[in-house]
Amino acid sequence: MQGRHLARGLLSWIIVHPYRALWRGRALGFVLAPVLLGFGALMTATIAFLTVLMEVRGVAEGGYPVAVTMLAVAALSLALLVWMLSTLSRKR
């Protein structure tokens, strides 16, 4: 039971800490936030693709709303990544 709480705390720290560091203007946030945004965009696009593929092959039904939602999240993550990188390049 204790290991589960430790893993949950570690996972939330890994996800939240870069954004908190970015909010506070620390260097670690400027390094890790784009990595997490890019990873999130790629993962949600992959989930959308796999959902559509499963729907087409008849493995699962009703996956199109999930795919559309995942593509919307991927587009949002990608837009935030582009915005952040363009903002950083203008500050130089």
User: For the chain, what's the residue count?
Assistant: 92
Residues with Cβ within 8 Å of 43's Cβ and at least 6 positions away in sequence, in order, are none
Report pLDDT digits (tens) over 10-50: 666 666 666 677 667 777 777 778 888 899 999 999 999 99
> What is the model's pTM?
0.71
Output the pLDDT for position 13. Answer: 63
| Domains held by the chain: number | 1
Tell me which residue range forms the domain holding 31: 2-91
Contact 70, 45 (CB under 8 A): yes
Output the pLDDT for position 56. Answer: 92
Report pLDDT digits (tens) over 53-67: 999 998 888 889 999
Output the pLDDT for position 47. Answer: 93
**pLDDT surpassing 60 at residue 3:** no
